[in-house]
Structure 1
Amino acid sequence: MHKEFAEIYDVFMKHVDYKGWYKFLKSYMKNKGEVLDLGCGTGEFIYRFLKDGFSVTGVDISADMLKIAEEKIKSKNIKISSYKLIKDNIVSYSHIKKVDYVICNFDTVNYLENKKEFEKFIDKSAENLKKGGYLIFDAVTEEIFEEIFENGIFLDEEPEYTSIWRYEKLSFEKYFVEIDLFIKQKEEENLFRKYNEQHNKFIYDPQWIVKTVQSKGFEIFDVAKNPDFGESRIFFIFKKL
């Protein structure tokens, strides 16, 4: 991610009900323990877990996101220092010791390259989890494109930026998504800097997800939907055997 995008990420995500999402996650995390937050972004969940007495390791591939997460955590004046922020790939990251919970939010798994990458993600999560630990992640179905795109385009206009999203279906499971992002420059009121992001969004069959994760040494604990976080989003909660 570009540094400029990291700086406006929280503005980009300002409509997300983090408080409600966190409460939803916590409903499956009854006991305090160590949390591995994969794709942690700017740390919105990390400081909430720290406030509630969990220890947390946040992993993200963007150093700029992690820098903002560090600043955010310190600004909260939390009297707990049991956290780490690590720049790494969530598919290959190996934790020093096994944790109680592995979480991965905001359909991050849909941005993995293919099913093989997803399986690597599950293998590493199993490796990093204690026996009886929980793996919690969400994925979106292809209905997301009908949900947020109108005529194949999604326009998001804010004082700090304007973004134009387009998508194209490449195959039964893969979609191409392109984002033109115009970020207002602080030094010039009417000057915008343009960035172009291109990536693939991989759509999994929910039944395939369940069978695959079960084959990796997990049992299914729950599969849930919460319309507050999008009709096309499915939460998967697995327990390590």
Structure 2
Amino acid sequence: MSYEQFAYLYDELMQDAPYDEWVRFVKEKMDQYQAGGHSLLDLACGTGELSVRLAKEGFSVTGVDLSADMLAVAQAKAQEQGLQIPFFEQDMASLEGHEEFDIIGIFCDSLNYLQSDDDVIHTFKSSYNHLKDGGLFFFDVHSIYKVSQVFINQSFTLAEEHLSYIWNSFAGDLPNSVEHELSFFVLDEHSGKYDRFDELHFQRTYPVRQYSEWLAQAGFELLEISADFENKEPQEQSERIFFVATKKPSN
């Protein structure tokens, strides 16, 4: 999976994403569970849009992502806002060299880009090791319903003067997985012609019970599961599942 060109289109494609809802969710859960401290690790931070918004809300944010191109966009964005946010190019399944944080988040269904059980398990354990005792761990994922009924065998299109895309989704080889084939057509303002960029993105999700078991195995205490920013239990057609867990002090 390549993000080389996608990184520079991502913010425009995601301009309608509910970033404010994620910020609100974090702040509400901090109050609800009386979490102390504001150091926050934003894993798979992408272009840093959420990192910047959280920093503006008073969080001391550190961002981690595997894509150097995404991080270049994130760093430029933070500098434009006058924010000091350290960004690191690392795999979230094998973090190293960081302090412990009060909060760790994996937002925007980023966990679904991990391709194996072991990747998810190692990410949970790595997050546990970098979280303070009593700290909060947040993540959201696509539901199995969304992968199987909303994505698979569906096509999505965008046609704007400067940017268009064709997005086709197919069932992946692994259970509850989907492959997204994207073709972008971006206007070159100098030549007046369109450049084409092709991307293949893979996502995979798991049953709620499986995520819960892996969290417990990593040492977390699961506090709640909800869906679609509504603070309600997931239903059959819920599309985005939210998990909130805390680090139990080690004996």
**TM-score between the two structures when normalised by the length of structure 1:** 0.88
Between the aligned partners of 1:203 and 1:120, the Cα distance in structure 2 is 16
Deviates most, 8-17 or 173-182:
173-182
1:91 aligns to what SS in structure 2?
helix
Contact 2:6-2:199 at 8 Å conserved across structures: no
Map 1:204-223 onto structure 2 (within 5 A).
Answer: 204-223=206-225
Between the aligned partners of 1:75 and 1:212, the Cα distance in structure 2 is 39
Between the aligned partners of 1:160 and 1:214, the Cα distance in structure 2 is 47
User: Between Structure 1 and Structure 2, how many residues are aligned?
Assistant: 236
Instruction: Give 2:16's aligned residue.
Output: 15
Between the aligned partners of 2:27 and 2:229, the Cα distance in structure 1 is 17
2:132 partner letter: K
The CA deviation at 1:147 is: 6.1
The CA deviation at 1:171 is: 4.1
2:247 partner letter: K
1:187 aligns to what SS in structure 2?
coil
2:167 aligns to what SS in structure 1?
strand
Map 1:94-133 onto structure 2 (within 5 A).
Answer: 94-133=96-135
Deviates most, 63-72 or 134-143:
63-72
User: Is 1:29 matched with 2:13?
Assistant: no
Residue 96 and residue 72 in structure 1: after superposition, are their counterparts in 2 closer, same or farther (change >3 A)?
same
Instruction: Give 2:187's aligned residue.
Output: 184
The CA deviation at 1:227 is: 5.6
The CA deviation at 1:142 is: 2.9
Map 1:70-85 onto structure 2 (within 5 A).
Answer: 70-78=75-83, 81=84, 83-85=85-87
User: Is 1:60 matched with 2:65?
Assistant: yes
Contact 1:148-1:154 at 8 Å conserved across structures: no
Residue 66 and residue 134 in structure 1: after superposition, are their counterparts in 2 closer, same or farther (change >3 A)?
same
Between the aligned partners of 2:25 and 2:160, the Cα distance in structure 1 is 28
Between the aligned partners of 2:47 and 2:138, the Cα distance in structure 1 is 19
Residue 59 and residue 185 in structure 1: after superposition, are their counterparts in 2 closer, same or farther (change >3 A)?
same
Deviates most, 132-141 or 171-180:
171-180
Q: What whole-Å deviation, never above 9, does each CA across 1:104-156 have from its counterpart, x for those lacking one?
A: 11111111011111101111001111111111011102322466559521223
Instruction: Give 1:136's aligned residue.
Output: 138
Deviates most, 166-175 or 12-21:
166-175
Between the aligned partners of 2:189 and 2:150, the Cα distance in structure 1 is 29
Between the aligned partners of 1:21 and 1:44, the Cα distance in structure 2 is 11
Percent of residue pairs identical = 28
Q: What whole-Å deviation, never above 9, does each CA across 1:43-67 have from its counterpart, x for those lacking one?
A: 1122222222221110111222212
The CA deviation at 1:103 is: 0.4
> Gaps (5+ residues) in structure 2?
231-236
Deviates most, 153-162 or 94-103:
153-162
Contact 1:95-1:128 at 8 Å conserved across structures: no
Instruction: Give 2:233's aligned residue.
Output: none
Q: What whole-Å deviation, never above 9, does each CA across 1:155-175 have from its counterpart, x for those lacking one?
A: 233343222222222343332
1:131 aligns to what SS in structure 2?
strand
Between the aligned partners of 1:157 and 1:234, the Cα distance in structure 2 is 30
Between the aligned partners of 1:17 and 1:175, the Cα distance in structure 2 is 22
Between the aligned partners of 1:27 and 1:147, the Cα distance in structure 2 is 31
The CA deviation at 1:33 is: 1.9
Instruction: Give 1:238's aligned residue.
Output: 245
Instruction: Give 1:203's aligned residue.
Output: 205
Between the aligned partners of 2:229 and 2:109, the Cα distance in structure 1 is 15
